[in-house]
Structure 1
Amino acid sequence: MTTETTAPDEPWRDPRLSTARRVRDLVARMTQQEKIAQLQGVWTGIDAAGEMAPHQHEFAVTPHDFDELTRHGIGQLTRVFGTRPVAPEVGAHSLARTQRKIVEASRFGIPAMVHEECLTGLAAWQATVYPSPLCWGATFEPDLIRRMAAKFGESMRRLGVHQGLAPVLDVARDLRWGRVEETIGEDPHLVGLIGSAYVAGLESAGVVATLKHFAGYSASRAGRNLAPVPIGPRELADVLLPPFEMALRAGARSVMNSYADNDGVPVAADQTMLTERLRDEYGFTGTVVADYFSVAFLHKLHGVAADREDAAAQALTAGIDVELPTVDCYGEPLLAGLGSGRVDQALVDRALTRVLTQKCDLGLLDPGHSPVPEAGVDLDDPESRALAREIAERSIVLLHNDGVLPLTGKRLAVIGPRADEPGAMMGCYSFPLHVGVHHPDVPMGVEVPTVLDALRAEHDVVFARGCPVLGGTDDEIAEAVATARLSEVCVVVLGDQAGLFGKGTSGEGCDIPDLKLPGRQEELLEAVLGTGMPVVLVLLSGRPYDISRQIDRLAAVVCGFYPGEEGGPALAGVLSGRINPSGRLPVGFPGAGSSQPSTYLAATLGTRSEVSTVDPTPLFPFGHGLSYAPATWVAVGCEEREWPTDGTCRVHVVLRNDMEIATSEVVQIYLHDPVAEVARPVRQLIGAVKVDLAPGQTRTVTAELHADLTAYTGRTYQRQVDPGDVELHVGTSSANVHSRLRLTMTGSPRVVGFDRALVPEFDTP
């Protein structure tokens, strides 16, 4: 028996038709107010939320009449789970009721898109807090990050969330910037490699990934948040944009603009950036959503728009499709602009088509769509915690070790403000520190063992805090010194308190003037070192700090950044030797003179010289990391001596593990271009892969490198591949090179574009 399906009277409701046909039909049926409603976000809990976005309470418009607001529909719902603590199942059913109201109140019954933050997992109460992006970069393992994003992406879809506002693809340029903790690192290839894996994972779960902040945000003058960006077109093209290009090719369906102005032009009003480059050059067809309040900022902060109507017109013209987080400029001001002729109707229809296309692809226009959530969603199940632990373990970086590690049978003094604090494991966009801090009477929602908890489970331990992250007394430091004298080894746990807008030492709006350890922590460290006891420094921080004054007296240094809810046991495992550390630095540690913003991506004039008293050489370089069982580099070679400008070369690295425990090595391949049209970085990463080796095992790594990986932006501002001599530097960090392979690139110069090869192909049998 067969049943005939009757086509709906309105083509836009018919799932059998193409998306383009359905959207075109729907757009033609909508009134101006209905169209504009789809370009708006609504944050219904903003009046009760703590400060979670810049100038939030100044610019927010609280919807006082939800029924009136939904009469024409709604484009987006903002942070239903991420505004206040709400149990997942309760929040899901509340969201379903809200969606039913929206569907029933409006003429076409189109559900809203629902977006949430998800930088370290879904930012919701009782959800797993995964390691921070710097930890992702430190793993050098894109597949691990893909698995993470896919895992929590599945939970997001089950709750009714359609879009995640991550990943952050800003390349760290100045370590004083508070949002360094949200970045993946200082190298565009690594950021793109890991960021595109995150995108692939989230999108595989059916959740729209949102690339941010497009582009230039991290290169602000003096490392200040939301400050002018003085970069040139080459830094933009060769350092800041490649991660976005890689992630777009991984399938990202949304992009968020940068708050900043680049050379005086705010990105929210930059048609060259958001349309000509993103759409015309890159071929992006998804939605561009405004970073929170950035459309209003064109009028209130940047001073490039006369009023909110002008701001709406400029943003829409530039290419911003949806105003987030709540209706302001894309409401009555945009309607007024249409009436006055300041806004072209075609621009509204262009943005609307993109929004409805995405909703159609998500099934929100289908007649059978139901907002009813699945029951029994566990956001912190054992599988999620195990994955969080695995990422933490694979990301911890052993920076220095004089042989005191691993710890075996020693009485430990555990000292420091980060040792017995669950929040020390988390960044500013984790739910407990982003939202939970505004609800001190509500439990954290997830179990987070501290470093002290984890070490006590394995060792004989005495403890003293010594001082808080900021402030403290002489008596507290004296107590820590006395405690240190009771031990055989001191583990000093220092670092940051993540927070927002001055509520922490790291995080959005928590920029710093130099890279000294916050508060009295360096003083505490010096006091403990003065006891003469061996000191192991553990850093839980959102950025690297200057420890150059202590490094010669420290027995060991371990960096965990913000390793998430399972970071305590992971760190204890590394300290005890149960885990052989395999993380590598995604950002270098500064040397003496802790206010220098430089990264390893410097041309010759940016390195140490005799004509400047400032030495930018890092204490620990990008890519650095030690092991308890370092791999033996047996051989490095290249099959070719000539490398066609339109072809490939193959590099072989033979590694052997001569130790009795398993080990890992990160093979890093850097390009050195001795002669080019413009000054190039002395060394720039073009390929990296982590290789695991069992005891006694030998493995051969083969990298096939396309000539496109040598491309750079030349004097005509085209990205080009040049013939001539180049070197491939193969090693274990940006400063530790095992082999220099000299090749000659042959053939004609080539201009390459968005479709160029972006990553090498690795074979690691």
Structure 2
Amino acid sequence: MRKLLFIALLSIFTSCGKGDSKAKDYKDASLSIDERVEALLPKLSLEEKVAQMRIFHATIGAKYDNNGNLKLSDKVIEKLKLGIAGIKNPGEHIDAVSAAKFNNKLQKYIIENNRWGIPALFVTESYNGVDAEGCTKFGRPITSAASFNPALVQRQWDVVGREARLRGMHMCHSPEADLVRDPRFGRMSEAFGEDTYLTTQMVKSAIKGVQGDYEGLGNGTHIGAVAKHFAAYGQVLGGSNFAAIEISPRTLIDEIYPPFEAAVKDAKTLGIMASHGDINGVASHGNPELLTGVLRDQWGFEGYVVSDSNDIARLHYFMNVAETPEDAARMGLVAGIDIDLYAEDSYAYLPEMVKKNPELEELIDRSVRRVLRTKFILGLFDNPYIDIEAVKTGNRAKASLELAKESDLESIILLKNENNTLPLDANKSTKIALLGPLVRENTKAMFESVVTDNVKFVAEKGFHLTDETGGAPKLLERDGKALDNLVNIAKSSDAIVLFLGGDEFTSKEAFFNNALGDRATIDPVGPQDELVERVKALGKPLIVVLKHRRTLSINTIADQADAILDTWDLSEFGDESTARIIFGEVSPSGKLPVTVPRSIGQIPFHYSMKEINYKKGYLFLKDGPLFPFGHGLSYANFEYSDIKISNPEMTADTELEVSVTVANKSNVKAKEVVQMYVKDEIGSVTRPDKELKGFEKIELNAGESKTVSFKITSKMLEFTGVTMEKVLEAGDYTVMLGTSSNDYLETTFKLKK
């Protein structure tokens, strides 16, 4: 009887299962992403859910040996039993094909060793292209910002997205959407400069590029972006990493937020990373007003928020705003952080915490939905593996390498060119000395590849800037013999190119454990100024090529050099591109994405500060910047004229058009960046001296002219008023069209109610 009853019950349960048309299978690709997420989420145990909220770094034990075998540590094997949100930088130190094979094996292992076959996100970063072995190396973000060419930047990041996906990566903890206005900050070159509008355009382009304009995510050709660090991370006091951030709410809303808002609304970034710091005392990793109120409720962000390295746990042991590690985990969860990066002492506690506070599981479900949604968007459940044959032809493609060179050429800035020192004659028989601490092993070869045998080169580094230790590099003592040798080489040359500035040791991210990267001064380190003065005394043409990752107060260089090329940190072909500019193959067209101060004592010092900041200078220091934002010379002579405005008045419901004619009064074909600035003459709160509101890069043949037009909309004129609400105020405005923030033609208009 019992056996018959069991068979009957089994038959009922089986028939019910077969007849339940509402049951959905998360593996069914015909369902919507939200339906697949909701079909999978209830299946997960609490521990499996929390595993989908954690990322670990591959260095804890995910390797690929010399025989192509997957090698996993016991720690990694234990973690992967429950599945995982993702792994950072798997295969970063091996070539692209090997990385793709390794990541295919790693992904296969992950899928086969968790109950529901949930794939993992493999995560990289991008500062010079994909931060991994064997990828195309582009210039750093602040370098590409100097191009003032968003379309070019989008093409560059399109390559980043493609090359990363070919390695088996899925997300990128880039781009940096914050502003950088303090050159003491070691991470300055990771961002796109000091200006809100320029950074916004660059961030949108970078995200659209790396994500394949969103369409590249699901079809497996691109990766998702994680815009960072939200918010105001670059505004740390003293330019010191991990320091406090004190910033007015008005500045935060009007200047810091817009690039992030555009990343969410316009570029559809898949991820956001929270900021290390606080904002006026409220730690960003525990700030629900920021991570949920602004990001999700105001802007409608639907992706996931990831912590910065260990920063949820640091709410307890570093920020001192959480009593216990468990309190820190709760704060992060409530605030809206979905993924814990690296830590073993924060979200790892969540399963035990839910036993005491079951209501937390609803917040856990909220985060897991966002992570699973991302994996479905990327198509990882349906197509988790990489086609190895595609890697062989797609990585470091010829077009990608040529794009790196093109980006270089549009990003190099001609700061000074006294007496038309540049370009040099590539056909003239000359001997040129390439000297200084930023000369590389291949610098001479790259210069030789650009010119004929008539031009002879001698190259000598001479001295290093530091001892080049990784954590806290130390300055070296002055080497008199090395300086004498460089000067002697210069004496026997017809022209001298000095490679000066800074490198990856003098400007870098400062970590915990005494790894330093910020600086208390911004003067060039070592005896670089002395070298400039001694070479200048020889009376020969002196060209300085600046390579650097932070703005430097180059007073001696600016005074002594006949010509200065600011190259920031270019691609792997940087010296070749520099040579092509020096010898006139291409006219420089880059513009400064930052203001160059004369002294560290001027900081803060960005062009768009409030007008009242410019009323007084300093004793014993010349007023103004050494070089203004937007500055950049050309081998052509551009003449601006005939500024026009379509109407002297506008309302909230109308637009204006302003135009200027730009003529190339030379025999050189060249590109120019036409910039539009707007100034609100009187506001209910103190207003910026001027704000960049538009730019266009144009190319003009010798003798050619072009009329460039911009629209002025009421949205451009809005700002946060006295009551902390966005306002549009009637009154007088000045619009400026020109070649930099200090060199322009202007006209006026009135906004009427």
Which of 495, 501, 505 matches 1:495?
501
| RMSD across aligned positions (CA) | 2.6
Equivalent residue for 1:392? 408
**Quick one: structure 1 residues 23 and 593, their matched pair in 2 at CA, closer, same or farther if it must change by over 3 Å?**
closer
Equivalent residue for 1:530? 537
Which of 177, 192, 214 matches 2:185?
177
Provide the C-alpha distance between the structure 2 equivalents of 1:614 and 1:271, rounded to a whole number of angstroms. 45
Provide the C-alpha distance between the structure 2 equivalents of 1:342 and 1:539, rounded to a whole number of angstroms. 58
Whether 1:27 and 2:41 are equivalent positions in the alignment is yes
Letter in 1 for 2:101: H
Equivalent residue for 2:645? 638
Equivalent residue for 1:341? 357
Stretch of structure 1 that moved more, 369-378 or 245-254: 369-378
Provide the C-alpha distance between the structure 1 equivalents of 2:560 and 2:21, rounded to a whole number of angstroms. 78
Equivalent residue for 2:165? 157
Q: 8 Å contact 1:515–1:594 — kept in the other structure?
A: no
Cα distance, 1:404 vs structure 2: 1.1
Within 5 Å, which residues of 2 pair with 1:676-691? Answer: 676-691=683-698
Whether 1:668 and 2:678 are equivalent positions in the alignment is no
Provide the C-alpha distance between the structure 2 equivalents of 1:302 and 1:337, rounded to a whole number of angstroms. 21
Provide the C-alpha distance between the structure 2 equivalents of 1:146 and 1:7, rounded to a whole number of angstroms. 45
SS of the equivalent of 1:259 reads: coil
Whether 1:77 and 2:77 are equivalent positions in the alignment is no
Cα distance, 1:130 vs structure 2: 0.2
Cα distance, 1:643 vs structure 2: 1.5
Provide the C-alpha distance between the structure 1 equivalents of 2:557 and 2:80, rounded to a whole number of angstroms. 60
The one-character-per-residue Cα deviations of 1:139-172 (angstroms, maximum 9, x if unpaired) are 0000001111112212222222111111111111
Which of 325, 337, 340 matches 1:320?
337
The one-character-per-residue Cα deviations of 1:586-644 (angstroms, maximum 9, x if unpaired) are 01211255663321121123125168666662111000000011222232111110121
Which of 410, 414, 435 matches 1:415?
435
Equivalent residue for 1:118? 126
SS of the equivalent of 1:384 reads: helix
Q: 8 Å contact 1:118–1:166 — kept in the other structure?
A: yes
Whether 1:39 and 2:53 are equivalent positions in the alignment is yes
Within 5 Å, which residues of 2 pair with 1:207-246? Answer: 207-246=223-262
Provide the C-alpha distance between the structure 2 equivalents of 1:455 and 1:166, rounded to a whole number of angstroms. 37
Which of 288, 292, 313 matches 2:305?
288
**Quick one: structure 1 residues 611 and 631, their matched pair in 2 at CA, closer, same or farther if it must change by over 3 Å?**
closer
Whether 1:307 and 2:307 are equivalent positions in the alignment is no
Whether 1:136 and 2:153 are equivalent positions in the alignment is no
Equivalent residue for 2:16? none
SS of the equivalent of 2:146 reads: helix
Cα distance, 1:120 vs structure 2: 2.0
Provide the C-alpha distance between the structure 1 equivalents of 2:718 and 2:187, rounded to a whole number of angstroms. 29
Whether 1:406 and 2:423 are equivalent positions in the alignment is yes
Cα distance, 1:263 vs structure 2: 1.1
Which of 441, 463, 466 matches 2:462?
466
Stretch of structure 1 that moved more, 401-410 or 183-192: 401-410
Cα distance, 1:462 vs structure 2: 2.5
Cα distance, 1:361 vs structure 2: 1.5
Equivalent residue for 2:611? 604
Cα distance, 1:456 vs structure 2: 9.1
Cα distance, 1:484 vs structure 2: 1.2
Within 5 Å, which residues of 2 pair with 1:503-522? Answer: 509-522=516-529
Structure 2: runs of 5 or more not aligned:
1-19, 64-71, 218-222, 467-475
Which of 528, 533, 552 matches 2:559?
552
Whether 1:628 and 2:640 are equivalent positions in the alignment is no
**Quick one: structure 1 residues 63 and 681, their matched pair in 2 at CA, closer, same or farther if it must change by over 3 Å?**
farther
**Quick one: structure 1 residues 166 and 456, their matched pair in 2 at CA, closer, same or farther if it must change by over 3 Å?**
farther
Equivalent residue for 1:359? 375
Cα distance, 1:646 vs structure 2: 3.1
SS of the equivalent of 1:13 reads: coil
SS of the equivalent of 2:650 reads: strand
Letter in 2 for 1:17: L
Q: 8 Å contact 2:510–2:518 — kept in the other structure?
A: no
Cα distance, 1:562 vs structure 2: 0.3
Equivalent residue for 1:431? none
Structure whose alpha-carbon radius of gyration is higher: 2
Whether 1:714 and 2:721 are equivalent positions in the alignment is yes
Provide the C-alpha distance between the structure 2 equivalents of 1:729 and 1:375, rounded to a whole number of angstroms. 49
Which of 254, 260, 275 matches 2:292?
275
Q: 8 Å contact 1:115–1:161 — kept in the other structure?
A: yes
Q: 8 Å contact 1:498–1:504 — kept in the other structure?
A: no
Equivalent residue for 2:664? 657
Cα distance, 1:488 vs structure 2: 2.1
Stretch of structure 1 that moved more, 203-212 or 568-577: 203-212
Provide the C-alpha distance between the structure 2 equivalents of 1:256 and 1:144, rounded to a whole number of angstroms. 25
Provide the C-alpha distance between the structure 2 equivalents of 1:503 and 1:290, rounded to a whole number of angstroms. 17
Equivalent residue for 1:198? 206
Provide the C-alpha distance between the structure 2 equivalents of 1:7 and 1:123, rounded to a whole number of angstroms. 47
Cα distance, 1:337 vs structure 2: 1.7
SS of the equivalent of 1:72 reads: coil
Cα distance, 1:25 vs structure 2: 2.0
Equivalent residue for 1:745? 751
Q: TM-score, normalised by structure 2?
A: 0.88
Which of 589, 593, 598 matches 1:591?
598
The one-character-per-residue Cα deviations of 1:405-442 (angstroms, maximum 9, x if unpaired) are 111234212210112256x9xxxxxxxxxxxxxxxxxx
Q: TM-score, normalised by structure 1?
A: 0.87
Q: 8 Å contact 1:608–1:615 — kept in the other structure?
A: no
Provide the C-alpha distance between the structure 2 equivalents of 1:379 and 1:718, rounded to a whole number of angstroms. 49
Letter in 2 for 1:18: S
**Quick one: structure 1 residues 714 and 503, their matched pair in 2 at CA, closer, same or farther if it must change by over 3 Å?**
closer
Provide the C-alpha distance between the structure 2 equivalents of 1:74 and 1:156, rounded to a whole number of angstroms. 20
Equivalent residue for 2:273? 256
Letter in 1 for 2:161: G
The one-character-per-residue Cα deviations of 1:249-295 (angstroms, maximum 9, x if unpaired) are 22211101110111111111111110000000111111111111111
Letter in 2 for 1:740: E
Q: 8 Å contact 1:140–1:583 — kept in the other structure?
A: yes
Cα distance, 1:318 vs structure 2: 0.7
Letter in 1 for 2:32: S
Provide the C-alpha distance between the structure 2 equivalents of 1:218 and 1:116, rounded to a whole number of angstroms. 21
**Quick one: structure 1 residues 715 and 577, their matched pair in 2 at CA, closer, same or farther if it must change by over 3 Å?**
same
Cα distance, 1:359 vs structure 2: 1.2
Cα distance, 1:174 vs structure 2: 0.8
Provide the C-alpha distance between the structure 1 equivalents of 2:361 and 2:610, rounded to a whole number of angstroms. 48
Cα distance, 1:458 vs structure 2: 7.3
**Quick one: structure 1 residues 47 and 483, their matched pair in 2 at CA, closer, same or farther if it must change by over 3 Å?**
farther
Whether 1:92 and 2:110 are equivalent positions in the alignment is no
Stretch of structure 1 that moved more, 495-504 or 663-672: 495-504
Provide the C-alpha distance between the structure 2 equivalents of 1:457 and 1:231, rounded to a whole number of angstroms. 57
SS of the equivalent of 1:145 reads: helix
Cα distance, 1:48 vs structure 2: 9.9
Within 5 Å, which residues of 2 pair with 1:567-578? Answer: 567-578=574-585
Stretch of structure 1 that moved more, 602-611 or 6-15: 6-15
Cα distance, 1:647 vs structure 2: 2.4
Provide the C-alpha distance between the structure 2 equivalents of 1:293 and 1:163, rounded to a whole number of angstroms. 18
Q: 8 Å contact 1:220–1:226 — kept in the other structure?
A: yes
Q: 8 Å contact 1:666–1:689 — kept in the other structure?
A: yes
The one-character-per-residue Cα deviations of 1:500-543 (angstroms, maximum 9, x if unpaired) are 997999xx941111111012222222222232322111100012
Provide the C-alpha distance between the structure 1 equivalents of 2:157 and 2:603, rounded to a whole number of angstroms. 34
Provide the C-alpha distance between the structure 1 equivalents of 2:358 and 2:690, rounded to a whole number of angstroms. 49
Q: 8 Å contact 2:446–2:579 — kept in the other structure?
A: no
Equivalent residue for 1:755? none
Letter in 1 for 2:494: E
Letter in 2 for 1:467: F
Q: 8 Å contact 1:464–1:479 — kept in the other structure?
A: no
Q: 8 Å contact 2:167–2:391 — kept in the other structure?
A: no
SS of the equivalent of 2:207 reads: helix
Identity %: 30
